[in-house]
Amino acid sequence: MEQQHIMEVRHLSKTFGSGNTAVRALNDVSFTLDKGMFAAVTGESGSGKTTLLNVVGSLLRPDEGEVLVDGEDITQGSDDALSVYRRRKIGFIFQNYNLIPVLTVEENIVLPLNLDSTEPDYEYLGELLRMTGLESKRRNFPHELSGGQQQRAAFVRALIHKPEIILADEPTGNLDTKNSREIISILKESVKKYNQGLLLITHDLTIAAQADVVYRMRDGVLTRLENGVSAP
């Protein structure tokens, strides 16, 4: 059965600075992300991983290349169009949870929908809270949660608008081994259950080894590892 591409990235390049101080963060990067696929990107700090995530998430425009989503090149969109793209197509998960302290877990989760003037699907919200073990914490404030629970809340917030694509930048970087395993397990379950595409940046080869496709970024060049990676 032919795979369905959610995203097609073609020949992305991005340079910061100029002259002797120029840094080529992305160098002719191309790849595809399919429905139900978990793709991991590994590499040293400063290799271009986060720049790649920011470009495909439309937080940063490339110097050259295309990012096709539903057949449209999002790199050419207006600022307003890109804001809509991020709100409706992309679920961002970062290393920092970015929860608003004065809002409850549920209020933090539905905030992106409120900003988009969209009514929450509370049945779906309940399903996500059960999946992440947060059902009894929906009225709690962030300071009342553990680090793992805060990351789960951020994860549910990223999924509440039913995005096609999940972009995760070191989502387990602040977590212990047990919570890291659980977060990755939940992400994998979501990708398969809701037929999403997950692009995840990680330094952890144990996590990368669980991906369907593994890439290595080095000096702005993205290379697919045909045999994946071996966990230490």
- The verdict on residue 90 lying in a domain is yes
Count of the separate structural domains present in the chain:
1
pLDDT tier for residue 228 given thresholds of 50, 70 and 90: low
Residues spanned by the domain of 171: 5-224
pLDDT digits (tens, 9 = 90+) for 120-149: 999 999 999 999 999 999 999 999 999 889
From the list 99, 111, 103, 106, the residue with the least C-alpha distance to 122 is: 106
CATH of residue 49: 3.40.50.300
Structural domain contains residue 198? yes
- In the prediction, which pLDDT does 202 show? 93
99 in a structural domain: yes
Find out whether 171 and 155 touch, Cβ atoms under 8 Å.
Answer: yes
Asked if residue 229 is part of any domain, the answer here is no
Determine how β-strand 38-42 pairs with β-strand 213-218: parallel
Q: String of b and e for 191-200 (b: at least 16 CB within 10 Å)?
A: beebebbbbb
Q: Is residue 79 part of a domain?
A: yes
Instruction: Name the residue with higher pLDDT: 219 or 176.
Output: 219
pTM value is 0.90
Q: Is residue 231 part of a domain?
A: no
75 within domain boundaries: yes
Is 44 inside a domain boundary? yes
Average pLDDT over residues 26-49: 95
User: What is the model's pLDDT at position 230?
Assistant: 52
Amino acid at position 121, single letter: D
